[in-house]
Structure 1
Amino acid sequence: MKASTITGIRTLRVPERANILWVEIETAEGLVGLGESFRGAAAVEGQIHELVAPSLLGQDSRNIERIHRHLMTPYVGFGASSAEMRAASAVDIALWDLMGQRLGVPVHEALGGLSRDRIRAYNTCAGYDYNSARDRRDIRAGEGAIGPYDDQVAFMQRADELAHSLLEEGFTAMKIWPFDVHAPASGGQVMTLEDLKKGMEPFEKIRRAVGDRMEVMAELHSLFSLPAATRICQALAPIRPFWVEDPIGKMDDTAALVELRRAVPGMPICASETLGGKVAFRELLVAGATDVVMVDLTWCGGLTEARKIAALAEAWARPVAPHDCTGPVTLVASLHFALHAATAIFQEVVRATLASWYRDLVTVLPRVEQGFCHPMQGPGLGTQLQPDTRRRAAIRESRS
C-alpha cells in the first residue's frame, strides 16, 4: 500500500451549526485532509458514505484530477449545486489540504503560487447566526442587535452608522440585501413602489454618509422575477453599486439575465454562488450574462473546478470573486484560491462570524487587516478543527 493511499473517510457535524458538514480524509502515511460542505448536511453526509466512500477508499490521494473527474460526473446530480456536487467539493478541498501537507507548503503554493500578496475584502453585512442554522434570518423593523457586529440589523436600521463603522476598520466595500424582506408578499413577482422606496433607503443613507469612499454591492438572492429585478436595478442605478448579485431566480436562466442587462445598461451583474460546475459558468459567459463570476468552493466542485471556472472567466475578461457566508473552512480554502487566481478581485468575509463562532470551530482563521485578507501560513489549508469541535461532533466513518 502506498503511503498516500486513502484509508478512511470521516464526517463530523455539530448540532448548533446544522448546515455545516466537515469531511476528513485519512491516508496510510497518517495525514488527515479537511474539507467542508454547507446546506443539506445530512444529504451530503449520506452521499459521501453511501456513494463516494466506496469508490474513494484505497485510491491514491495524490490523483486529485482523476478523483475529481469521477466525482463530478455521477449518473445523476451532476448539474447545479446538488448534494453530489457539494460532496465532490468537500472531498476535493480535503485532497488539496492533503497535497499541501504532503509537500509541506500552503495550498495556494501547491496550486501554483500567489498572484498577489493580499486581496481586498468586502464585508457581507450578515449577523452572527445568519445562514448557519437550517433557517435563514431575515430582519424586520424593530428587531434588535445581539452584538456589536450584528450588521444585518444595522443595514436595515442604521446603514449610515454601519458604513462609518466599516470604514473605521479599513473596509471599503460592503454587501447588503434590504429588498429581500419584500419578496415574500408576491413570491418575488412584484416590487411595489412603496417597497422599492423602503429597500432603497439603506443605499441612500450609505451614500449620504460616506459618499464614494464605500463600494456597495446589492444582493438579491435569486428572489425576483425579471420585471421586479429590472425595477430594482433601475432604482439602484444612481447609487452606482459595484454589482447587483443574483438578481433573478434562477441564475442559470441566461436569457433572462441578458434581457435584464439590456433593460438596465451598465448595471454590473455578479453570478453566481448557486451554480455548480464549469458548464453552467460557460453558458453565462457565452451569453454575456454576467460581469463578475462568483464561485462558492463548497458548491461549485471545490478548488479543482474553481480553477477551471476562473480560467474560463479570464478567457472572457471577467474577474472572479469567491463567496463566503457559510463556514470557516470554506473561507480558508476560498482565500487560498483568491490569492492564487489571476483575476480574483475580492474575498468575501463576514466580520460577525470571524469575531465569534468561526474561531470557536477551527484553530486558525485568515488575517484580515485594514480591509485586506493576507495569506494563510503553514502546510495545506493551514487550519484544523478545534479539539472542542471534535469532542462535540457527531462522527460517522467509512474505512477500507
Structure 2
Amino acid sequence: MQITALETIRVEEFPNICFVHVHTDEGLVGLGETYFGAASVEAWVHESAAPVLVGQDPLNIEKHWQSLVGFIGSRSTGVENRGRSAVDIALWDLLGQVTGQPIYQLLGGAVREKIPAYNTCAGYQYTRKRPKHAHLPVDNWGTGGTDGPYEDLMGFLHRADELAESLVEEGYMGMKIWPFDPYAEASAGRYISPADLRRGLEPFEKIRKAVGDKIHIMVEMHSRWDLRAAKEIAKELEPFQPFWFEDPIRMDNVAALNEFAHSTRVPTAASETLGTRQAYLDVLQQQAAGVLIFDPTWTGGISEAKRIASIAEAFEIPVATHDCVGPVSFAVDVHLSTHLPNALVQEVVRAFYSTWYKELVTDLPKVENGYVYPLSGPGLGTKLNPEVLKRADVTRRVTTVKDL
C-alpha cells in the first residue's frame, strides 16, 4: 500500500478545524483533525508533510512521525506539531482499517469498557468562531440568548445551581467552569479586587448549595493569571473542594507552576497547551502537576499521546485527554481513554456533542448516564459526513505525486 495524496478540508462555518485525509492506492482513506490556525496547518501539510509521505507505506507510522519532526515545532503545540498530530491520527485510522480493529485495540486493548465523563460548560458557539483564543472573548460574557437546553456557558455564569442539577441528573461526575476569566482580561491577570473575587465565587456557592458533593467542580483558569493572583484565587476556592485547578498560570514557567501546585491541597492539572513528551517530562520531574492533560490533536497525535501517558504512569500521575475542539479529536480521546491504564476522566462538551459534532462526522462515541464508550468500528470508527464535502463553504486542497 502507498500513500497517493494528502488532502486538507476546511469549512468556513467551523474556521478553527482542519481535517486531513490520507489517501492510498487501495482506496482506503485515513482521517485526522487538528484545531486552531487551520489555514496555517493546511499550508504545512502540503508544503512539509506531503513531500515526506506521498509514495510511502502509510503503515510505517513511527518512521513517519520521526520524519516529520523537522527543525522547528518539536516542543510546542505550534502549527508543525498540530499538522503532524492530524497526519499521525490519519495513519492510525488507516492501520485500523487495514487490520479491521479499532484504535484502542491496536494500542494494546481496552483497560476499561467505559470512562466517567465531566462536562466542560461551554455554549454552542464557544471556540467555534474567530478570534481563535482559548478564553472567551469579552463581548460574549453575560450576553446572548440560548440556542437549546445546553447553553452551559450562560448556565454557569447565571444559573450555576440549575446547571449543576441538570448535570447530576444526566450522571456527569464533574463540571468545568471558568468564572474568573473576565477579571483576568480586565487586569491582564495581575489583580483581582475583593468584589470581583466574591462575584467569581458565586457559581461555586450556588453549585454546592444546590447539589452538595454530588458533583466535582473543575476550575479552568486558562493560564490567565500571574502566580500571586492565582494563589490568591486558589486559596478562596479551597473550601468548595475543587477537583483540580487547570492551567492557573502560563505553562512555560515550570518552577512557578511547581510553586503554585505546592501552595494548595487541590491538584493542579496541566496542560493541553504543552507539546510532546519533553514538555510533560519537565512538569513531572518538577512535581508541578497532579494530573496531566493533553490533546492528541495538538501534542503529536496518537503516537505521542501514548508515550506521554506512559511517562506519567511511571510518575504515578493520572492523565485526562482534552476535548473542547472537534469531533474527530473526541473520538481519538475516547480510544485513548479506553486503553490508557492511568486515564482518569473524559472531558465532554455536551453543547458540542449534541449539535455540531453530529453535523461533521458519521459516528460519535456514546455518552450515556455519565460515561463515555468508544467507537468499535475499524480505526477511528467514524468518517467525515459526506455532506461536508459538498458544502458551499468548504475548502479542499490536495497534493499528489504530480504536484511534488
**Structure 1 CA distance for aligned equivalents of residues 191 and 141 of structure 2:** 19
Q: Is the 8 A contact 2:111 2:339 kept in 1?
A: yes
The equivalent of 1:98 in structure 2 is: 94
Aligned amino acid, residue 40 of structure 2: A
The offset of 1:271, in angstroms, is 0.3
The offset of 1:146, in angstroms, is 2.6
Q: Secondary structure at the match of 2:187?
A: coil
Q: Secondary structure at the match of 1:24?
A: strand
The offset of 1:268, in angstroms, is 0.6
**Structure 2 CA distance for aligned equivalents of residues 396 and 256 of structure 1:** 43
**Structure 1 CA distance for aligned equivalents of residues 81 and 197 of structure 2:** 36
Question: Residues 253-272 of structure 1: matches in 2 within 5 Å?
Answer: 253-264=253-264, 266-272=265-271
Superposed CA RMSD: 1.0
The offset of 1:179, in angstroms, is 0.4
**Structure 2 CA distance for aligned equivalents of residues 150 and 28 of structure 1:** 44
Q: Secondary structure at the match of 1:33?
A: strand
Q: Secondary structure at the match of 1:184?
A: helix
Q: Is the 8 A contact 2:119 2:349 kept in 1?
A: yes
The offset of 1:144, in angstroms, is 3.0
The equivalent of 2:374 in structure 1 is: 375
The offset of 1:261, in angstroms, is 2.2
TM-score by length of 2: 0.96
| 1:197-217 per-position Cα deviation (integer Å, ceiling 9, x unaligned) | 111110111011100000010
The equivalent of 1:277 in structure 2 is: 276
**Structure 2 CA distance for aligned equivalents of residues 200 and 144 of structure 1:** 23
Q: Is the 8 A contact 1:145 1:154 kept in 2?
A: no
**Structure 1 CA distance for aligned equivalents of residues 54 and 395 of structure 2:** 21
How many residues are treated as equivalent by the alignment? 394
The equivalent of 1:79 in structure 2 is: 75
The offset of 1:263, in angstroms, is 2.5
The equivalent of 2:325 in structure 1 is: 326
Q: Is the 8 A contact 1:252 1:284 kept in 2?
A: no
**Structure 2 CA distance for aligned equivalents of residues 193 and 98 of structure 1:** 55
TM-score by length of 1: 0.97
Q: Is the 8 A contact 2:269 2:292 kept in 1?
A: yes
The offset of 1:142, in angstroms, is 4.9
Question: Residues 1-400 of structure 1: matches in 2 within 5 Å?
Answer: 3=1, 5-71=2-68, 73-135=69-131, 137-138=136-137, 139-249=140-250, 251-264=251-264, 266-392=265-391, 393-400=394-401
Q: Secondary structure at the match of 1:100?
A: helix
Q: Which runs of 5+ in 1 are unaligned?
A: none
The offset of 1:62, in angstroms, is 0.7
The offset of 1:168, in angstroms, is 1.1
| 1:141-167 per-position Cα deviation (integer Å, ceiling 9, x unaligned) | 354323210000000001000000111
**Structure 2 CA distance for aligned equivalents of residues 222 and 263 of structure 1:** 17
Q: Is the 8 A contact 2:331 2:374 kept in 1?
A: no
Aligned amino acid, residue 149 of structure 2: P
Q: Which runs of 5+ in 2 are unaligned?
A: none
**Structure 1 CA distance for aligned equivalents of residues 254 and 266 of structure 2:** 16
Aligned amino acid, residue 254 of structure 1: V
Q: Secondary structure at the match of 2:19?
A: strand
Q: Is the 8 A contact 2:112 2:339 kept in 1?
A: yes
| 1:108-162 per-position Cα deviation (integer Å, ceiling 9, x unaligned) | 1111110101001110000011112222545433543232100000000010000
**Structure 2 CA distance for aligned equivalents of residues 143 and 202 of structure 1:** 19
The offset of 1:352, in angstroms, is 0.6
| 1:361-396 per-position Cα deviation (integer Å, ceiling 9, x unaligned) | 100011000000012121110001111111112100
Aligned amino acid, residue 327 of structure 1: G
**Structure 1 CA distance for aligned equivalents of residues 22 and 76 of structure 2:** 25
| 1:6-39 per-position Cα deviation (integer Å, ceiling 9, x unaligned) | 1110000110000000000011111100000100
